[in-house]
Amino acid sequence: MVSQTDLQRDARAKLLDAALHEIRLRGYTATTVDDLCRAAGVTKGAFFHHFKSKQDLAIAAAEHWSETTSAVFAAAPYHAHDDPRDRVLAYIDFRAALLDGDIADFTCLVGTMAQETYHTHPAIAAACDASISGHARTLEADIAAAMERTGAGDGWTARSLALHTQAVLQGAFILAKCQGGPEVARDVVAHLKRYVRLLFDKGA
Amino acid sequence: MVSQTDLQRDARAKLLDAALHEIRLRGYTATTVDDLCRAAGVTKGAFFHHFKSKQDLAIAAAEHWSETTSAVFAAAPYHAHDDPRDRVLAYIDFRAALLDGDIADFTCLVGTMAQETYHTHPAIAAACDASISGHARTLEADIAAAMERTGAGDGWTARSLALHTQAVLQGAFILAKCQGGPEVARDVVAHLKRYVRLLFDKGA
DNA sequence: GCGCACATACCAACTGGTTGGTACGTTCGA
DNA sequence: TCGAACGTACCAACCAGTTGGTATGTGCGC
């Protein structure tokens, strides 16, 4: 038999999911604890039972973001290509395909939080860095293999190119927020794909 | 004879300069009106005499940012090159050279504000868009001339490349905030320069 | 060149609503 | 019956914005 606590996901999980959406919509500072409780359908008592402070929730949300997104990328089809160069290009296509719908649904939680908290809440910024750097690291092996196979890599490393892809995506999100839609972000990512193709065509 | 009002810059100018620094440090929402008044050395009465609301100041600050930065870029040496391709590359070098010192001093006011206000204060985001798009437009002529001269431009426009450069810079700022320093941003901008060089080498 | 009407630029004190956080009570499964 | 997982009621600090005032000009009739 299924108990009630199994049926209704516990307050902690609901708060973390609410944080993903609310903070991407309004930013960290403008999102109040009451906003999060309302969106999650729980009370303040539950909030401070699971998180010792608002900052504590932000750090947990960054970790939750890493887990959620890494599951999406692990299950994505771009890993199927035989050629590592094709895997990197297909990763970029996959990122481009995600640029659709509401801005709050395709932009990045940790990029948003780092922007406003780097000075006032360095612990949050560190959690954001762990998330972005960790995701970038999942690209490094494919990039390194593509470098090996094509002879590319004069003056740059797999790590720096992986971070560059993340920077381009973060910048694309900002332009999308400025212009109110994903179109400009798709153009930006198209340039990223062109760059990676040029890099790996060079030595071929 | 010089009057007292000439000697001490007026409260409006001091508040706008304070906004440039404080908002880049803490973000729009976390920067309070009192913070700005304290940093500018004026009272709240002066603030609400010159700006009808905090949002009104943010929009004025975005315009002030556009004026301040466009003066810097207009005076920069990268315009001196004869070859438009060299002007574009020298622009990127100029941007890379600015990536130094405190994070709040080299990051972008309007990118920061757009990130947190796109949903709650669309008027601020529109002012941020005007600033970024306006700056990107100053690159278009050089990019277009370089396309003409090298035969590059298959599948992309001068405008889209200009916006791509801005996206890369905005993303570089976010990574710098995550990691607490400008080093990663310089690596990102180095990739941007490599891309532009590859684009314009192709047809040569 | 004097005095009045008016405008601009600012200041100090205050207000009503909001915010992150706390104190304490209740429910419920083991 | 004990403790984890909540809920309710509350608080002190803080926040954007207001109020009511002063100081310093400035235009202008006379």
Q: What is the per-residue pLDDT across A50-70, written as a single tens digit (0 to 9) for each?
A: 999 999 999 999 999 999 999
How many CB atoms lie under 10 A from the CB of residue A152? 20
One pLDDT digit (tens) per residue for chain B, 204 residues = 233 333 356 889 999 999 999 999 999 999 999 999 999 999 999 999 999 999 999 999 999 999 999 999 999 999 999 999 999 999 999 999 999 999 999 999 999 999 999 999 999 999 999 999 999 999 999 999 999 999 999 999 999 999 999 999 999 999 999 999 999 999 999 999 999 999 998 544
Dihedral sign, Cα of residue A115, residue A121, residue A122, residue A124:
negative
Q: CA-CA distance, A168 to B170, in Å (whole number)?
A: 8
Question: Can you list the alpha helix ranges (DSSP code H) found in A11-107?
Answer: 11-26, 33-40, 44-50, 54-75, 84-97, 103-106
Amino acid at B57: L
Question: Which residues on chain A are in Cβ contact (under 8 Å) with B25?
Answer: 119
Residue of B nearest to A116 (CA): B27
In the prediction, which pLDDT does B6 show? 37
Residue of B nearest to A195 (CA): B195
Mean pLDDT of A85-107: 98
Distance (Å) from the C-alpha of residue B150 to the closest C-alpha of chain A? 16
In the prediction, which pLDDT does B11 show? 84
The token pair at B179 is 């990691």
| Interchain contact A103–B (C-beta under 8 A) | yes
* Tokens 């431009």 found at: B153
Which A residues 5-44 touch B at CB under 8 Å? 25-27, 29-30
Amino acid at B6: D
> Which of A128, A166, A177 lies closest to B114 in CB terms?
A177
Q: Which nucleotides of D are covered by protein (CB under 7 A)?
A: 5-10, 14-21, 24-25
Residue of A nearest to B159 (CA): A187
In the prediction, which pLDDT does B10 show? 87
> Which of A112, A163, A172 lies closest to B115 in CB terms?
A112
The reply to whether B4 Cβ lies less than 7 angstroms from strand D is: yes
